[in-house]
A = this chain, B = another copy of it.
Amino acid sequence: MGDQVKYVLDESRIPTHWYNIVADLPSPPPPVLHPGTMQPVGPDDLAPLFPMSLILQEVATEREVEIPSPVREVYRQWRPSPLYRARQLEKALQTPARIYYKYEGVSPSGSHKPNTAVAQAFYNREAGIRKIATETGAGQWGSSLAFAGALFGIEVQVFMVRVSYNQKPYRRALMETYGAKCIPSPSMETNFGRALLAKSPDNNGSLGIAISEAVEVAATRDDTNYALGSVLNHVLLHQTIVGQEAIAQLEMAGDYPDIVVGCTGGGSNFAGIAFPFIGNQLRGGPRVHVVAVEPAACPSLTRGRYAYDFGDTARLTPLAKMHTLGSSFMPPGFHAGGLRYHGMAPLVSHVKELGLIDARAYHQVACFEAGVLFARHEGILPAPEANHAVKGAIDEAMRCREEGVSRTILFNLCGHGHFDMQAYMDYFGGRLVDQDYDESELAMALAGLPSVTEPV
């Protein structure tokens, strides 16, 4: 096993293909439905929003999808990302476990999001599109698409949840540095935004609302497409380079995980690290215990219903079967803004239903505690979202210690926390509290779910 701490692959080892787990699953995921007809959507239904190449990836069934060389070219700037053995943390925990983490914070925007942003910008540009509208919560997706847009000559318009827009001016400045236009949502730019502001001028916004605005812009303007940073199959597909690289790097270490941990908001960084390992298992490889860690204040996988629901608040999107808290659910404010989404990626939800993964929910204070412990021993300051994965991995390592068993734990450190220092200041200042969602609000949101249970 050697005493290495960092496993670096040569850039020639950047995966040549994305891995599509659908090819290995015992059953396909339920189809996405057109909200008007309740019938499976066809490629043409999605054409106003996405280039055809991405639509075809959304329904792809082949195991491997080739990564276009201009996309790999851009990946080379920061990929393969490093895999670390957390030796200092192991020592501090006095655990017999071997803890590894894949670090996606080395990308230009500091998270895993550019893995798909670059691909999406490329396919849009290839289709002749020069403008993309999108949404962002904490700002990681928005800044990643802004970066990718700058590289491929695409104007990017980002609807940023208003509360984040006001609280996180620095993420906004990063988007603007990359040349994107950032608009607080709800905004006066869309019918939906105007209607919301007419009712409540101080509406703080939500990810669901911001998605509605960006979709409205893309659907009503011929020259503008839409892009989503998580949830959709093609987004998860693009992230699978993370897990593929991790497999190769663990091979260098002569190791293989017993446990794989990722945090889940929409599900893309989790799927990125976990799906290639689950695929190995499905094809007869070693079993892995895969743990999805979500915020207790927005617990779609552990408390949501597996049902057809909309992806946005205005109910403009197709219906997808997923673990959902209801598209009208408003989670309390907490610091992992990237995990504040009512639904879980349909593919992650399906894999959960198939019993291939476990889910677990943590409150934020315990996650920050884990993140600070990690930073003091490993030097890297995790994003609040990633702190959930850190906490999950530490808990597994402590279980190894209690049981006196050495297991190999791999987690995805999906981004750094340089733009989240206010959250750390709040944590140190004792101003961070654990908030529960409102049970009656959840019940109401779930009661409002569309009644469709399968395609008509």
Contacts and interface: CB of A to CB of B under 8 A. Distances in A.
Interface in A370-415: 372, 375-381
A381 B177 CA distance: 8
Interface size class of A (residues with CB under 8 A): 35 or more
B421 A169 contact: yes
Contacts of A418: 110, 416, 418-419
A100 interface: no
Contacts of A422: 170
A151 B372 contact: no
A237 interface: no
Interface stretch (A1-9, A37-45, A53-61): A1-9
A4 B418 CA distance: 29
Given A377-B150, A381-B174, A8 B8 contact: yes
A142 to B, nearest CB: 14
Contacts of A416: 418
Nearest to A381: B177
Given A76-B4, A169-B421, A176 B84 contact: no
Contacts of A106: 106
Contact of A178 (B6, B178, B376): B376
A73 B3 CA distance: 10
Given A177-B375, A428-B173, A8 B10 contact: yes
Interface string A24-65: 000000000000000000000000000000000000000000
Contact of A151 (B4, B10, B76, B88): B88
Nearest to A107: B379
A10 B252 CA distance: 13
A339 B47 CA distance: 52
Interface in A55-104: 73, 76-78, 84, 88
A279 interface: no
Please list the 7 inter-chain residue pairs (A to B) with the smallest Cβ-Cβ separation, ordered nearest first. Answer: A108-B379, A170-B421, A418-B418, A173-B421, A173-B425, A150-B376, A173-B424
Interface of A: 4-6, 8, 10-11, 73, 76-78, 84, 88, 106, 108-110, 147, 150-151, 169-170, 173-174, 176-179, 372, 375-381, 416, 418-419, 421-422, 424-425, 428
19 contacts: A4-B11, A4-B76, A5-B77, A6-B11, A6-B76, A6-B77, A8-B11, A77-B378, A150-B376, A169-B421, A169-B425, A173-B421, A173-B424, A177-B381, A177-B428, A178-B375, A178-B376, A179-B376, A418-B418
